[in-house]
Amino acid sequence: MASERQIHVGTVPVGGGAPVAVQTMTKTETANLGETMAQIRRVAEAGADIVRCAVPREQDVEALKTIVRESPIPVIADIHFNHTLALKAIDAGAHCVRLNPGNIGGTDKVAEVIARAKEHGTPLRIGVNSGSLPKHLRDLEFSDPVEALVTAAVEFVELMERLEFTNFKVSMKSTSVPNTIASNRLLAQRIPYPLHLGVTEAGTKWSGSLKSAVGLGTLLADGIGDTIRISLSTFHAEEEVKVAWEILKALKLRERGPVLIACPTCGRLQFDMDSVVAEIERRLEAYADPIEVSVLGCAVNGIGEARHADFGITGAKDMGMIYSKGEPLKKVPTAQLVDELFAEIDRWYAAGKTVVRDEHQAAEAAQWLASEEDATQMTPERLAALEDAANEAAGGGDAVLIDEQASPTSGRRFTRA
């Protein structure tokens, strides 16, 4: 359920079915042009579609003129409540201005900003924060915080419509993940305008990423949300961009660069996988295509779990195997696994994105895999297959549990019933 309406922030379409746009915000003093531009270039490199800069002072709005001219991506001026700065930011050429109509000092001042935005064709992001709701909604905020947020947002939307302005997107920010989900679900049903999603003040890189993945991921999976920002307590804004991309890639909403699949490891691990995965992740950053690369810690399941991967490795004590789309390519000493993996990827590129297979090496690898694979291990996949077979033999219907006592991994419970 993408928003019906679409706006353009500079060249970036937002809403109306456009790809979900990734935003972040610079953490520098905006007036510090050198540092601000350096951070903007870093976030653009990391994949930000749009960047927002705080404009709380006159010197920031001065700097904004240069920033919008030199930035490789569209720039949103973050104003919040000073209507004079909002006017100046529009004059400075900001590609969008963020303000909270409830804090701008009355309808006349909002109308003045809208008139200037119309004149310049500048879109606005109008926002509601759980911490700064209009006074008449304070009681409702206590009894029903979600309805209070949505009511405030709808009132601002109606104000925009009365002023005959529709070139805007809407955000509702709450520090509560359940309230973020519930309020955006409600708002998406009530208005046709694009929605900006974020969990405000989400926290550190670890907890903030998780909260954002749960909150934004839930909404995006429902088709709600047209642009996202991950708010993390770090000076490195590019980290926010990377997290945003991981969420979009996980939901298959957008593609950017390779996808790394790695097993969680367990007691069967046969080689130093942590450092291998870290090295592969680092080297994959040089590639732009969404190739899937899988790393399995042992050959217990063969390579079946990673049969969709474009390339993968599975290791044992001294030797490992490189494979592509579930088919062995070659076996190599563990110490050379990573180099050989990238040699295969580069060979694939050189051959016009076609796998180049040496049949002799592939047969050798397949033989090695067969000797390493442990057909006695009762993995979840094999248990499921046994269950299916037992169910089939019993004539289908309700799932039949296998006899766990007969399982070589007694003590483990697994059922798909």
Residues forming contacts to ligand SF4 in the complex (CB under 6 A) are 263-266, 268-269, 296-298, 300
- C-beta of 273: minimal distance to ligand SF4 in Å? 7
Find the shortest distance in angstroms from Cβ 251 to ligand SF4.
24
**Between residues 217 and 297, which has the closer beta carbon with respect to ligand SF4?**
297
The answer to whether 253 touches 290, Cβ cutoff 8 Å, is no
Could you give the CA distance from residue 245 to residue 400 in angstroms, rounded to a whole number? 41
Min separation Cβ 304 and ligand SF4, Å: 10
CA torsion angle 395 399 402 403 (round to 10): -100
Q: How far apart are CA 235 and CA 36, in angstroms?
A: 12
| Cβ-based neighbour number of residue 411 at 10 Å | 6
For the bound state, the minimum distance from the C-beta of residue 264 to ligand SF4, rounded and expressed in Å, comes to 5
Q: Nearest approach, Cβ of 180 to ligand SF4 (angstroms)? A: 33
Is 159 or 261 the residue whose CB approaches ligand SF4 more closely?
261
Q: Are 261 and 295 in contact (CB under 8 A)?
A: yes
Nearer to ligand SF4, 215 or 302 (CB): 302
Nearer to ligand SF4, 266 or 406 (CB): 266
Q: How far is the CB of 376 from ligand SF4 (least distance, A)?
A: 13
Minimal distance, residue 270 CB to ligand SF4, in Å = 7
Nearest distance, CB of residue 269 and ligand SF4, angstroms? 4
User: CA-to-CA distance for 306 and 245, rounded, in angstroms?
Assistant: 22
User: What is the distance between the alpha carbons of residues 312 and 276, in angstroms, rounded to a whole number?
Assistant: 12
Instruction: Pick the closer one to ligand SF4 by CB: 172 or 303.
Output: 303
- List b or e across 171-205, with b for residues whose CB sees 16 or more CB atoms inside 10 angstroms: bbbbbbbebbbbbbbbbbeebebbbbbbbbebbeb
Cβ closest to ligand SF4, residue 141 vs residue 372? 372
Least Cβ distance, residue 271 to ligand SF4 (angstroms): 9
User: Which residue, 266 or 393, has its beta carbon nearer to ligand SF4?
Assistant: 266
Residue 265 CA from chain centroid, whole number? 24
Q: What is the DSSP letter of 397?
A: S
Residue nearest to ligand SF4 (CB): 297
If the CB atoms of residues 121 and 264 are measured against ligand SF4, the closer one turns out to be 264
Give the amino acid at 114: I
Long-range Cβ contacts of 213-219 (<8 Å, 24+ apart) = 213/243, 213/246, 213/247, 213/250, 214/177, 215/177, 215/180, 215/181, 216/180, 216/247, 217/247, 217/250, 217/251, 218/181, 219/180, 219/181, 219/184, 219/185
Quote helix, strand, coil % in the chain, to nearest 5: 45, 20, 35
Comparison of 241 and 295: residue with beta carbon closer to ligand SF4? 295
